[in-house]
Amino acid sequence: MIDFERVTKRFGSWTAVDTVSFTVAEGEFRVLIGPSGSGKSTVLRMINRLIPADEGTIRIDGEDIAALKPEALRRRMGYVIQSVGLFPHWTVERNIATVPGLLGWPKARIRDRVTELLELLNLDPRRYRGAFPHQLSGGQQQRVGVARALAAEPRILLMDEPFSALDPITRTSLQTELSAIHHRTGTTVVFVTHDMDEALRLGDSIAVMDHGRLIQCATPLEILTRPASPLVRDLVGREEWGLKRLAVETVGDRARRQESVTGEPLAAETPLHRALSEMVARGTERLPVVDGDGRPAGVLHLSDLVRPVPGGTASGGTA
């Protein structure tokens, strides 16, 4: 658990972070979003004390981080940055082994862990273990960057715009993999981005920052349907609002459980905008749904997608 209590950071006369308080629960995926200079990266870098707070208290699992040795604190957390920062003179294996090495893990355990992580991030260990960073594509480098951050099984993963420099296809696949890793490991993630689609897609909760202040901290659905300020509404954008709205709910949320219909079924965790796309592609208004074990879980109707729900429209709750 990460706890910010009235935290302030100034650089000269500029207040980068202004009395910010929030809590990230154990296992939560928290996205920090905001325009450039909003203080989101500063907040992230204060969690591992790369930037010291001027005022206020930051606690990890109840412990004030100001009382901890910075190196020891950082070794407990993963850290991924946009420009990756792999050590260019080290092989992929040695890069990933950085923190386990610092923690004094036995060699055999480090080796097994490297293999496991390379497989987790879809890099063939035989091919990439001994490669140097400059031999990899940008997407592969960031995969190694994520593997390096996860190496010592951190409880907290800090990510500063990790996928912003990648092409859209690579970005999407890394987002999917990160989601899967988060679900599997239950690691607490704090993820900085300026891309609202990425935030809506990945976050359990989204904290919107502007001029060093926390404007709104809410679930993706609330950010879409009840934006706390014009800035939040601008960040979400008017364009394709309806599709974004559908994207934050899954097929399982709206399916009619008692019904059944034939056809190629959709998984219950499929986002609704994908279901809509499927309906258009297949020319049908009804799709069968199956649960995680492949058992029938009802039918989704086209009308279910436009069924009014509380705060379900673009103008709803904007007061």
Binding residue (CB under 8 A) for other proteins from 132, 213, 242, 261? 132
Residue 50 binding other proteins, by CB under 8 A:
yes
Q: Are 264 and 279 in contact (CB under 8 A)?
A: no
In angstroms, rounded to a whole number, what is the distance separating the alpha carbons of residues 276 and 264? 14
Nearer to other proteins, 96 or 118 (CB): 96
Residue 98 binding other proteins, by CB under 8 A:
yes
Binding residue (CB under 8 A) for other proteins from 88, 104, 106, 308? 88
Q: Are 1 and 62 in contact (CB under 8 A)?
A: yes
Helix residue ranges per DSSP H, 166-301: 168-185, 196-202, 220-225, 230-236, 241-247, 251-254, 272-282
Could you tell me where the beta strands, DSSP code E, fall in the chain? 2-11, 14-24, 29-33, 55-60, 63-64, 77-81, 156-160, 188-193, 205-210, 213-218, 266-267, 286-290, 296-301
Closest C-alpha to 250, from 280, 282, 290, 223: 290
Nearer to other proteins, 38 or 48 (CB): 48
Nearer to other proteins, 84 or 174 (CB): 84
Of 14-33, which residues contact other proteins (CB under 8 A)? none
Residue 104 binding other proteins, by CB under 8 A:
no
Binding residue (CB under 8 A) for other proteins from 37, 56, 85, 316? 85
Residue 102 binding other proteins, by CB under 8 A:
yes
Of 190-219, which residues contact other proteins (CB under 8 A)? none
Residue 134 binding other proteins, by CB under 8 A:
yes
Nearer to other proteins, 145 or 252 (CB): 145
Of 64-83, which residues contact other proteins (CB under 8 A)? 70-75, 79, 81, 83
Binding residue (CB under 8 A) for other proteins from 9, 148, 201, 244? 148
> How many Cβ atoms from other residues are within 10 Å of residue 124's Cβ?
9
Run of H or E residues at 73: helix 70-75
In angstroms, rounded to a whole number, what is the distance separating the alpha carbons of residues 200 and 244? 8
Q: Cα-flanking dihedrals φ and ψ of residue 31, to 5°? A: -100, 135
Residue 87 binding other proteins, by CB under 8 A:
yes
Q: What is the nearest approach in angstroms of other proteins to the Cβ of residue 48?
A: 6
Residues 150-169, one symbol each (x = binds other proteins by CB under 8 A, - = not), give --------x-----------
In Å, what is the CA distance from 303 to each residue of 130, 256, 266, 286, 300? 54, 11, 17, 9, 9
Nearer to other proteins, 76 or 211 (CB): 76
Residue 89 binding other proteins, by CB under 8 A:
yes
Could you tell me where the beta strands, DSSP code E, fall in 93-212? 156-160, 188-193, 205-210
Nearer to other proteins, 82 or 225 (CB): 82
DSSP 15: E
Q: What is the nearest approach in angstroms of other proteins to the Cβ of residue 225?
A: 36
Binding residue (CB under 8 A) for other proteins from 99, 150, 224, 272? 99
Q: What is the nearest approach in angstroms of other proteins to the Cβ of residue 105?
A: 14
In angstroms, rounded to a whole number, what is the distance separating the alpha carbons of residues 292 and 278? 19
Residues that bind other proteins (CB under 8 A): 48, 50, 70-75, 79, 81, 83-89, 98-99, 102, 132, 134-135, 145, 148-149, 158
